[in-house]
Each structure stands twice: as C-alpha cells, then as structure tokens.
Amino acid sequence: MSKLNCVALAVLGVLLAGCLEVDQHPPYVNGQYAGKRDNRVADTTFRGDNAAWKKAITARASTQNEYNRANP
C-alpha cells in the first residue's frame, strides 16, 4: 500500500470514530427530569424503613473487615 492510501485510511478511521457518539443527556421537559424515578434500596427492600437499612449495611460491613475475620 502506498503512503497516500495509509493516510486516507487513517483519516477515514478518525472521522468515523467520531460518528458513533450517542447522546447521553437525560430527557428534560419544562426544566424537570422526565425519566423514570430511581427507587432507593430502603424504599423497595425495607419498605421505607431507613433505620433498618442502615442497620443491615452496618452489619454487612462489619463482616467484610479482614482484620476482624482473621483474628476473632
């Protein structure tokens, strides 16, 4: 291949790489977010009891400490 062909292929590749970008902005209508509401874990699993959710997270985190698990 000649140098001109290599340069042409490189330029074509660079130009096509920019064409594949997808719009990633959330939809807004009248200044308000128009997408689906994200459910919180405390709302779905613990029926809105935030204290129970925090207690469960604290208990889970305490078992993931390697120093506590290795030296009981």
On whether residue 29 sits in a domain, the answer given is no
pLDDT attached to residue 72: 59
The answer to which of 4-8, 17-21, 37-41 has the lowest mean pLDDT is 17-21
Contact (CB, 8 A) for 26 and 35: yes
Q: What is the mean pLDDT of residues 40-48?
A: 82
Q: What is the mean pLDDT of residues 18-36?
A: 81
Contact (CB, 8 A) for 63 and 56: no
Instruction: Tell whether the model's pLDDT for residue 36 goes beyond 80.
Output: yes
Percentage with pLDDT > 70 across the chain: 89
On whether residue 8 sits in a domain, the answer given is no
Give the whole-angstrom CA distance, residue 65 versus residue 72.
11
On whether residue 67 sits in a domain, the answer given is yes
Give the whole-angstrom CA distance, residue 42 versus residue 47.
6
On whether residue 72 sits in a domain, the answer given is yes
Q: What's the total number of domains in the chain?
A: 1
On whether residue 52 sits in a domain, the answer given is yes
Write down the pTM of the prediction. 0.42
